[in-house]
Structure 1
Amino acid sequence: MSINKEFFELLQKKPGDFSIKAFNVNGIKTEFFKKYQQFLNKNSDTKLSTSSFIATFKPFLVFYKNLNDYAKSTNKFEHKSTVMFRNVLATAKDPEKAFFEDIPQAFGYRDSELNGNNDVLDNYITLIKGAVRELNTCYDMLIDRIERHIIEQVSLPETYEEYKPAIEERYAGVKKHLLTTKCRTFLERLLAPSTTKREFIEKISNVVIDKRLVQIKDKEEEYLLDNIVFLFHELDQFVSISALDNGKDEVYNIDLASNQNVASHFKTYILLDSKKSKADQIIEKITKNLSGDADLDICVLLKLLNKRLS
């Protein structure tokens, strides 16, 4: 709050809403201040005063404010202290307490351990640098985890420059009218131009979670990974179907596995337009002999299918 006419008018009306805060500038806090100044690449000879203290603490608050949504919510860090450091910045109301008590405690330090020990102070600043680095890179690490999962599960080349053209070649022939709405949108994002790996991963991830990737929560990451792979496999099934679709014949892909037959059957079948009438007659005969119990009837048909495929 600025010290102006409105401030004094408010102070006169509601004096109970205000208090005077004094900073203790002696001993260890002076050493702390110098280390913080060095961390921020500021002049460490600057004397500790109210104005210089606020000027030093403000960059930490600005740093937190500028973090993206993911960095503000995730707990996926290598060090637990990074979460605690971030939470101190998020909830800080008393700069002095945050600077000289809460942040040191986030890294497991007490005043008595830091007092007069330059080596410990240097290590403390190193830990802060590490936490800042983790907060700055955690979203990129998420992008890398998603990319690695896709490469491994979908059998793609190792680099974006290689797998983006491979994806376009692999799925360019898929006919969109055969797909569900989500799968169609996913395909469009796959084939759309992307200048970077990050942009590409964001585009396809947004389809799966129906929001921007940067807004994802930790508990949603497994769902995202599973469903990205599921959509890739859905498209794989339509690659051969699209190549054979002539608008007249019926094309079916089947992937069938059973504990009675270890092998998994994946094959494409075409019901020619000229045979549809005969197929309808067979279906009618089979239907008459079904039990009416949906689960039993499906299992019977699957068992018969499995036997025919063996």
Structure 2
Amino acid sequence: MKTIGHAVVTRSYGAADVQTYEPIELGKPGPGEVLLRQTAIGVNFLDIYHRRGEAKPASGLPFINGFEGVGVIEAVGEGIDDAKLRVGARMGYTLAIGGYATHRLVPVSRLIPLPDGLSDVQAAAVLLKGTTAEYLVRRVYPVQKGDIVLVHAAAGGVGLLVTQWAKHLGAVVIGTVSSEAKAKLAREIGKCDEVFLTSDQTVSWDKQVRDRFGETPVAVVYDGVAGSTLKKSLALLRIRGMAVVLGSAGGPAEPIDVHALKARSLIVTSPSLPHFTADQTSLHDSTSALFDVILSGAVNIPEVCTFSLAHAAEAHTEIEARRTTGSVVLTA
């Protein structure tokens, strides 16, 4: 059995236009795999790092980008006897490269049964970002009631989930954003108590935090920007505070003096989602917690920006230009 579909293929590292939409041919699923006909594929900054060559797939070039998606099982490989994994079942997955395609093979270990309350586009928008938010606020630094939490890029796909979840856990949430439009999102959707503009030329965001909350008030900072932001964030942390570096949208973090951290016993960590969802049990524990807060209304999925799969390059361009808010999804 062969399946004919289309995929966005990256044949060289570089700008968004190195990605081309091409026909592909797939064989039948092997043992421990299913063939998924995809309906929605999540786009993440992780994809951009891989397209640029800043992170490289183990298979090398060429490759099909994308690490999460949603679809319907069309065929099941040998040795799979789980009744949930039947032809026609709706499934999501995360951290399985090869997502930018109409059809793909997915290891059973990465599959996630989806609740009826989530549409395909919503699920594709939230699986990777939502499990990221889960491990950040529940396991990397378990947010406690009354903690002051600082979230950079608070109007981004991960940021809007982290801020809502931290608020649900009882934290006082501070967000930073780059524009007034994003500030509105961070307040209204992200439920931030305070939002400060990184683009403010009159008063810096870190001074505004001090003026409002004191000299070193922050329990944890979730920093997806890095660049010059990390040093300013460290200066705001309380004794035994933690800086969690989860991305570098603003460029590589400026070097820090690790010995200076001792003055307040600060912790700096840069965790990775695969280490927190490495097996099916930990993955399903994470998605179960995620679905609980979404279906209860504690965390709302922000409005999703969609592009057709054939226009993946345009989606990357918009994300890199920081013209998107919330999540971006490709529809197949």
Larger RCO (CA under 8 A, 6+ residues apart): 2
Kindly name which structure, 1 or 2, has the bigger radius of gyration based on alpha carbons. 1
Higher relative helix content:
1
Normalised TM-score (structure 1): 0.24
